[in-house]
Amino acid sequence: MGDILSLIILRKATESDIADIYKYLHRDFIKKYSQNGEKAEWESHRRWYKFLINSDSYLLYIIEDENGRFLGQLKFELEGETSIVSIYLLKEIRGKGLGKIIVDMGIEELLHESDEVDVVLAYILEENDASLNLFKSCGFTYEREEEYGGLDHHLYIKRLRG
């Protein structure tokens, strides 16, 4: 696999990335849990990500190495002055300190893309120690417990301006 620390690229997702996102992030989960079958789930996934990529309400970034190998995704959901961040990294690159670099790069991109956003929220499941530590290392602070997506999460926030 080589040295994955050599170069990390963060670029805006395009429709040509949808198959990789599905392959690396969703297919195993769908095969295990879906009642609808993989073909129906693929179509639903493809439509959803096509919407995300083309929407002004989201910034979706692909994380890759210098050879174009998919390593994960970083997403910002934009809601006026607030943005919700989420990150997914492939298992083989977790725990190598890349998350902080990627989140910091993403926030820098967010500041270039939006003059409006001044607060970033991260909803983190209690048992996800890696994400808790990642967002703390990026300057996020604990705000409160809050339900998000039907589950209880720790809400961490980072103020970007003023």
Per-residue pLDDT tens over the stretch 121-142? 999 998 889 999 999 999 999 9
**Mapping DSSP to helix (H, G, I), strand (E, B) and coil, where does residue 7 land?**
coil
Which CATH class for the 9-159 domain? alpha beta
The reported pTM is 0.85
Nearby residues of 20 by Cβ (< 8 Å), 6 or more positions away? 62, 70
| pLDDT at res. 4 | 47
Distance (Å, whole) CA 4 – CA 92 = 10
Per-residue pLDDT tens digits for 10-64: 999 999 998 888 888 765 554 444 455 556 677 787 888 899 899 999 999 999 9
CA-to-CA dists, residue 94 to 61, 99, 119, 131, angstroms: 17, 8, 26, 10
Residue whose entry in the numeric block shows the structure tokens 């003059």:
115
The percentage of the chain sitting over the pLDDT mark of 90, rounded to a whole number, equals 54
Alpha carbon 56 to its chain centroid, in Å, reads 16
The b-or-e profile of 117-147 (16+ CB within 10 A means b, else e) is bbebbbbbeeeeeebbebbeebbbeeeeeee
Q: What are the domain boundaries of the chain?
A: 9-159
Nearest Cα residue to 130 out of 83, 85, 97:
97
Distance between CA atoms of residues 158 and 117, nearest Å? 11
Question: Which residues are paired to 149 by β-bridges?
Answer: none
DSSP 35: S
